[in-house]
Chain A
Amino acid sequence: MPIAQADLEAILRDGFPDAQIVVEDLAGDGDHYKARIVSDAFKGLSRVRQHQLVYAALKGRMGGELHALALETAAPA
């Protein structure tokens, strides 16, 4: 079950209100996205913890209605 790009962006924005968020629809099928998220929330965290925060914000959608979301996370330089 695909998810609209605008909905995905809104969910991520909800989870990371301060962040710079760029979402790309890689395949144009609403099912393969790439998101780059730069947020203070990631400061000092390992990549695994950073991605876990994003998955938590997605509230179980990852691996379910959202099949593929390539993640790039970082704290502001």
Chain B
Amino acid sequence: MSETTAADPIHDFIASAVAEHPVVLFMKGVPEQPQCGFSAVCVQILDHLGADFVGVNVLQSDELRQGIKAFSDWPTIPQLYVKGEFVGGADIVREMFSTGELKGFLEGQGLIH
């Protein structure tokens, strides 16, 4: 059975989540109660910038937890997507926040004011 030809419902779920919502954070736990320090930092940064985002809890299913890693070719969680594009994990989000780049990027996308 080939993963590339078989229909992959997890891939489709992720693809439609990032297509449907402008800012999506795949995280451990939920925004109100993150279950990992790295996820918590990303939530705090997005909240601080006033960005509306959807948090997807990867701990709800092991398929999703593995699927998101394959989707982005990225081995860790959290993962931030803006307008369907993978922006980065916790280090990149933190670095872009501290340089002001993330704010400028989200403003440029019309996602914060």
Instruction: Give residues in A with beta carbon < 8 Å to B.
Output: 47-48, 51-52, 55, 60, 62-64, 68, 70-72
CB pair A48 B75 closer than 8 Å:
no
Chain B: residues with CB nearer than 8 A to chain A? 38, 69, 73-76, 86-92, 95-96
A55, A64, A70: the one contacting B74 at CB < 8 Å is A55
A62 — which chain B residues lie within 8 A by C-beta? 75-76
Nearest CB to that of A68 among chain B residues? B38
A28 to chain B, nearest CB (A): 17
Across the interface, B92 reaches (CB within 8 A) one of A48, A64, A68, namely A48
Q: Give Cα A44–Cα B95 distance, bound, in whole angstroms.
A: 18
**Does B75 contact A72, Cβ atoms closer than 8 Å?**
no
List 8 other contacts, CB 8 Å, given A48-B86, A48-B88. A47-B95, A52-B73, A62-B75, A63-B75, A63-B76, A64-B75, A70-B90, A72-B91
Q: How far is the CA of A52 from the CA of B76 in the complex (A)?
A: 11
List the A side residues contacting B91 at CB < 8 Å: 51, 70-72
Residue on A with the closest CB to B89? A51
Using Cβ atoms and an 8 Å threshold, which residues of chain A touch B74?
Answer: 48, 51-52, 55
Most buried by A among B73, B75, B89, B95: B75
